[in-house]
Structure 1
Amino acid sequence: MTVATLPAQLAYLNGRFAPLNELQVSVLDRGFLFGDGVYEMIPVYSRCIFRLAEHIRRLGRSLAAVGISNPHSEAEWQQLLTQLMAQQDFADQSLYVQVTRGVAYPRNHAFPQPAVAPTVLAFSDPLELPPASQYQQGVHALTVRDIRWLRCDIKALSLLANVLAKQQAVDARCAEAIMLRDGSLIEGAASNIFLVKDGVLLAPPTGELMLAGITYELVLELAQQYGLPLAVRPLSEAELREADEVWLTSSSKEILPIVKIDDQPVGNGRPGPIYQTMLSVYQSYKATVMRRGEQV
């Protein structure tokens, strides 16, 4: 893809709105040289940004965790991202926000002294959900060893291990790679993972080894609201392989049933009844809350 064929929708870089294909970042930016930065992905439904404040707070926590000064207040972030969203031609969007430590020379692993201004990039793409067939028939996954660092709760740019795991899944014609560490279920390469066993929805707890997704939190809320039996606790690889149902959740996938793992069927190899219930509940919530801009 050349610069001429890059998307031309309006984007934001360091205080300036301009077409995305016109924006440029220095080759000395630490995000380019080290992956030294953090990001957020925020879904937009019918021009309503879903849980914007919650995403902004998570961005702030990631920035604090890696020692990058937050360039904006929560109110400024809300104004910036709302303005960006409003100027797109498409109503359902995926907002991407990235903050790096900034441009510094000479190249040095240590933080630049004195500190430099962070680089702030934001753009929006049309929100493209999986085809209906995947919600109805399910997808396949494979398991991989989790080779990432020990602070996966930070939404950091350094995603090479996730990229390699995801490509391994793609090469195996699977929708996702499920990460296992020391015999425990952690998460997907780009998703959170839920299990169902004997009618109980099971979720691994948040912590430094797992990024707590906004959709993950929403599924827990909906399960509690609708009285679905629920347990949040550490889950083993054996429980994953013996589960009656397995789901993946993310902002871009919402909730998808996994019906085969490592070429072995999950349960009876079809989306299960608890999944069907949660899918219905989730879609109802999306129609009545997400698309109306309510922050419930």
Structure 2
Amino acid sequence: MAAETVFLNGEFVKRSDAKVDIEDRGYQFGDGIYEVIRVYNREVFTMNEHMERLYQSAAKMKLKIPFDLQELSSIVFKLIETNDVEEGFVYMQVSRGISPRQHHFPGEDVSGSVVAYTKVFKRPVKQMNEGVTATLVEDIRWLRCDIKSLNLLGNILAKQEAASKGHFEAIQHRGETVTEGSSSNAFIVKEKKVYTHPATNLILNGITRRVIKELAETNGVEFIEKTFTVDELLSADEIFIASTTSEVMPVIKVDEHTIGQGVPGPVTVKLQELFTERIKAECKVQQV
């Protein structure tokens, strides 16, 4: 098997040769941003939306990306082609660059660091068909969750809490208000209406979340961006989470609470089918 090719600061190199400086601010401070872009049938899915969000996150952090949109897109396409990725994702990360350790920003002469690589990743079909379980965790993250930053400690602690209990995901809440999963957006269905937290600073406006919203609104499913409580979550007819790698993932149990009939509900299944049709259309997939 050929050595995997990665992109590092302007060069395509073997993964074994890719080295990150110890004074890179992404390594020392988590001072950077990232995106995960899905690949189906060697085609990128929702590429423009991911790239747009990357630049939006950069602007919110006053971080200058040293490549324009066309250049970054070319990097993504070349990595997919070079590594022969049929189904998987591209991970792209931009830090504020390499400079002597100090908390304030380095001078304008310091250029951001860009890293990108691919990974083979299959659709989680079995879990999507059967549903997964989750646990409730208090949301301890900072107040700018709308920035897709490298600062993920709060998310990691929540995910580990879920993993240690044998769950797929942690659904976070600030007091009584549910926000989102540790690596996903969270949705409930009540009387065939979909509810999810508004796209404020307290959640990441997921790309899959945006696709689901569009699919719901164009296919007769009422989609309401409104906060809901932990009690409303536990008494919902259906729960699902969504992310780039999880797609539309049913949650059939939260801690000891069975949701609905304990199987993926009809609204969730409909959205899964619509999402799959979108993948087929955008990525020219015959069978997904």
TM-score range, shorter chain: over 0.9
2:242 and 2:83 mapped to 1: Cα distance? 26
Quote the residue 2:88 is aligned against. 93
Structure 1: how far apart are the matches of 2:229 and 2:236?
A: 11
Are residues 1:118 and 2:112 paired?
Answer: yes
Displacement of 1:276 = 1.6
Q: Give the alignment of 1:156-175 within 5 angstroms.
A: 156-175=149-168
1:90–1:113 distance in 2 versus 1, CA, 3 Å: closer
CA offsets 1:186-242 (integer angstroms, 9 cap, x no match): 000000111100111112110101001110000111111111122121222221111
AA aligned opposite 2:58: L
> What amino acid is the match of 1:194?
F
Displacement of 1:114 in angstroms is: 4.6
Equivalent pair of 1:53/1:74 in contact (CA under 8 Å): no
AA aligned opposite 1:67: K
For 1:278 and 1:100, locate their aligned partners in 2 and report how far apart those are by CA, in whole Å.
35
Structure 1 stretches of 4+ with a deviation exceeding 3 A read: none
CA shift in 2, pair 1:114/1:223, >3 Å: closer
Deviation at 1:90, TM superposition (A): 2.3
Q: Which amino acid aligns with 1:286?
A: I
Q: Separation in 2 of the partners of 1:55 and 1:155?
A: 11
- Deviation at 1:146? 0.3
- Is residue 143 of structure 2 the alignment partner of residue 127 of structure 1? no
Q: What is the DSSP-based 3-state SS (H/G/I as helix, E as strand, rest coil) of the residue aligned with 2:284?
A: helix
SS at structure 2 position matched to 1:121: strand
Verify: 1:287 aligned to 2:280, yes or no: yes
Separation of aligned partners in 1, 2:105 and 2:223:
43
Aligned equivalents of 1:127, 1:21: Cα separation in 2? 21
The number of residues matched between the two structures is: 284
CA distance 1:189–1:8, shift in 2 (3 Å): farther
**Aligned positions of 1:4-153 closer than 5 A:** 8-105=3-100, 107-130=101-124, 132-153=125-146
| C-alpha contact 2:45 2:282 (8 A) present in aligned 1 | no
2:230 equivalent to 1:233 = no
- Taking structure 1 as reference, are residues 290 and 239 closer, same or farther at Cα in structure 2, changes over 3 Å only? farther
Q: 1:245 aligns with which of 238, 241, 244?
A: 238
Displacement of 1:38 in angstroms is 0.5
User: CA separation in 1, counterparts of 2:282 and 2:11?
Assistant: 32
**How big is the shift at 1:43?**
0.3
Counterpart position of 1:260: 253
CA contact (8 A) 2:239 2:251 kept: yes
Instruction: Name the SS of the counterpart of 2:270 in structure 1.
Output: helix
User: 2:83 is paired with a residue of what secondary structure?
Assistant: coil
Query: Which of these residues, 200, 203, 224, is aligned with residue 196 of structure 2?
Result: 203
Q: CA RMSD in A?
A: 1.4
SS at match of 2:273: helix
Give aligned-pair identity as a percent.
36
Measured after TM superposition, the shift of residue 93 of structure 1 is 2.2
Shift of 1:66: 1.0
TM-score (norm 1): 0.92
Equivalent position of 2:271 in the other structure: 278
CA distance in 1, matches of 2:228, 2:274: 25
8 Å contact kept, 2:34–2:93: yes
> Please, which runs of 5 or more residues in structure 1 have no aligned partner?
1-6
SS of the aligned residue for 1:152 comes to: coil
Query: Per-residue deviation at 1:115?
Result: 4.1
Structure 2 alignment gaps of length 5 or more: none
